[in-house]
């Protein structure tokens, strides 16, 4: 069985705490590794390495940082299949989805390659007689990232390339459920030429997180995960005087207006709800219909497509959806189907009895479709984070908008329609941070920023893009006055300086 360690100061660092956790292959249910959990001393060692590295890295030229990031991007491209295989082996998502995850992470590396453009300051001359004022941005120092299991490569790549490009050094604490992709990312950074201590990885559980939040030498913390944990991360970071961006959970709604192309809407609902087994914060978990005729027609189309989905191990090219991350999570997700039935929903498709031949011990769950779901039901109120799609019926656009805006989350949303005026009205009136128009999962490209509203974001900055640069830097304003040599005593002297 494989032992999974830490990565500190450009070296593999075996765990010394005596504590560890299991890593499984979700498709087989077999334990494939044991990941070391960091002690406070091991977290401190990683922070000390990052702090020592910052003394020189913070002043490395933009040209040098850019050259290293370009080299890193090329290594990621060359090793993308290896990264995808690790993701599939430990997370379970199908290979094509894992490759897509790596590609989306690489977008942010490419953004970081152009960081010089983002770090340009501003200059105002002659604001007063002989006085100029400049605004610049400087790195914070040591920063940390705490990342979730559902995107073990992409979310770390949303964080550390931008932070490092801005001149910071980084300590990453990935999910203990699928840590290997993050370690490969760190090894590739070493291969690209990043100095020791610039990027460090410590594995662990809540104890490691608490030490990161309390450590006095960490200036800022980025987090992606569930809303309760995001709220706790924000509270802990602020208590210890740290800057924080904590991205929480979601209940993303997809509004389908009566004029929409229902075939297209059904295709997109299937992809957005069941892709990556629904284990993504931008998954569509509620389809909102307007009018019973359109609702009936759409549910029929979604159900037909759901029944045809091919579910199996992620390394099988025929599989369209893989297993869930753990047996415990599978059981929790499955529990929402009988609960919804008991609370009055119509179970159109029940995937809870699925068995994958040859993988009976895997953490597989079939897709479920729940119709006529209402806001008081558990399936609507909770973030299920699995392949369960709810359909909520409304009688008008205004009723649908009110339903969506009353959600405590505001991560992403989408509208499907042929009416440009209706789409424009929706994108202005809906209370969510990311909006798709005939796009079911509106994850922004790298040069825009990702983040929601309400209980989907704790902190003022979204992740990556311009917000990411602002989060990982701080502003400084410099006001200068130099004497005019033409009026200075003694006049202009263009001669060589003397030694006396």
| Residue located via tokens 């001393």 | 41
E strands in 345-411: 346-349, 368-371, 388-394, 409-410
Q: What is the C-alpha to C-alpha distance for residues 214 and 269, in angstroms, rounded to an integer?
A: 42
User: 3-state DSSP call for residue 368?
Assistant: strand
In whole angstroms, give the CA distance from residue 287 to residue 297: 13
Task: Count CB-CB contacts under 10 A for residue 155.
Answer: 30
Which of these, 334, 399, 400, 398, lies nearest to 364 by C-alpha position? 334
- Are 248 and 456 in contact by the 8 Å Cβ rule? The answer is yes
Q: In whole angstroms, how far apart are CA 371 and each of 271, 348, 349, 352, 431?
A: 18, 7, 9, 16, 24
CA atoms within 13 A on the CB side of 23: 31
E strands in 42-146: 122-128, 131-139, 142-146
Q: How far apart are CA 76 and CA 102, in angstroms?
A: 8
Using DSSP's 3-state secondary structure scheme, residue 174 falls into: coil
Residue among 164, 172, 223, 245 at smallest CA distance from 202: 172
Count of alpha carbons within 13 Å of 343, Cβ hemisphere only? 18
For residues 21 and 207, is the Cβ–Cβ distance under 8 A?
Answer: no
Tokens representing 291 are: 């009018």
Strand order in the sheet with 131-139: 122-128, 131-139, 473-481
Spatial distance between the Cα atoms of 393 and 402, rounded to a whole number of angstroms? 12
Rounded to an integer, what distance in angstroms lies between the CA atom of residue 400 and that of residue 387?
Answer: 23
Pairing of strands 6-8, 11-13: antiparallel
Structure tokens at 109: 């590396």
CA distances, 24 to each of 9, 92, 108, 278, 354 (Å):
28, 9, 29, 19, 20
| Annotated catalytic residue, options 113, 166, 281, 390 | 281
Find where tokens 């957005």 sit: 272
**SS3 breakdown of the chain: % helix, strand, coil, rounded to 5?**
40, 25, 35
Look up 281 and say whether it is catalytic. yes
| Residues designated as active site | 281
């Amino acid at each position: 069985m494989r032992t999974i360690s830490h990565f500190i100061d450009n070296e593999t660092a075996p765990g010394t705490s005596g504590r560890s956790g299991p890593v499984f292959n979700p498709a087989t249910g077999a334990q494939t590794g044991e990941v070391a959990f960091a002690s406070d001393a091991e977290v401190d060692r990683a922070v000390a390495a990052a702090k020592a590295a910052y003394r020189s890295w913070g002043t490395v030229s933009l040209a040098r940082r850019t050259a290293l990031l370009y080299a890193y991007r090329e290594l990621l491209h060359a090793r993308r299949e290896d990264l995808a295989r690790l993701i599939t082996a430990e997370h379970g998502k199908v290979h094509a989805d894992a490759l897509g995850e790596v590609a989306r992470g690489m977008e942010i590396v490419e953004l970081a390659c152009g960081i010089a453009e983002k770090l340009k300051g501003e200059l105002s001359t002659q604001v007063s007689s002989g006085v100029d004022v400049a605004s610049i941005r400087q790195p914070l120092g040591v920063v940390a990232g705490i990342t979730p299991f559902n995107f073990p490569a992409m979310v770390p790549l949303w964080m550390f390339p931008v932070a490092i490009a801005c001149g910071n050094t980084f300590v990453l604490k990935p999910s203990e459920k699928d840590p290997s992709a993050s370690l490969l990312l760190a090894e590739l950074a070493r291969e690209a030429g990043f100095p020791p201590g610039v990027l460090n990885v410590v594995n662990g559980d809540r104890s490691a997180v608490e030490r990161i939040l309390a450590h006095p030498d960490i200036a800022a913390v980025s987090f992606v995960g569930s809303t309760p944990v995001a709220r706790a991360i924000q509270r802990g970071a602020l208590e210890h005087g740290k800057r924080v961006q904590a991205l929480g959970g979601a209940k993303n709604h997809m509004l389908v207006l009566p004029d929409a192309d229902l075939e297209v809407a059904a295709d997109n609902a299937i992809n957005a709800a069941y892709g990556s087994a629904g284990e993504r914060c931008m998954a569509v978990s509620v389809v909102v219909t307007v009018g019973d005729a359109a609702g009936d027609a759409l549910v029929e189309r979604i159900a037909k497509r759901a029944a045809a989905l091919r579910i199996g191990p992620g390394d099988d090219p025929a599989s369209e959806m893989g297993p869930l991350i753990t047996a415990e999570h599978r059981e929790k997700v499955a529990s929402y189907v009988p609960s919804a039935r008991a609370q009055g929903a119509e179970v159109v498709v029940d995937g809870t009895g699925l068995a994958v031949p040859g993988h009976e011990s895997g953490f597989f769950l079939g897709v479920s479709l729940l119709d006529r779901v209402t806001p008081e039901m558990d399936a609507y109120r909770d973030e299920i984070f699995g392949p369960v799609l709810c359909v909520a019926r409304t009688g008008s656009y205004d009723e649908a908008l009110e339903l969506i805006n009353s959600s405590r989350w505001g991560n992403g949303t989408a509208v499907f329609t042929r009416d440009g005026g209706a789409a424009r009205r929706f994108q202005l009136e809906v209370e969510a941070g990311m909006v798709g128009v005939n796009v079911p999962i509106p994850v922004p490209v790298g040069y825009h920023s990702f983040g929601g509203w309400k209980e989907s974001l704790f902190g003022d900055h979204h992740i990556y893009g311009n917000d990411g640069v602002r989060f990982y830097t701080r502003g400084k304003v410099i006001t200068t006055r130099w004497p005019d040599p033409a009026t200075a005593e003694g006049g202009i002297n263009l001669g060589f300086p003397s030694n006396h």
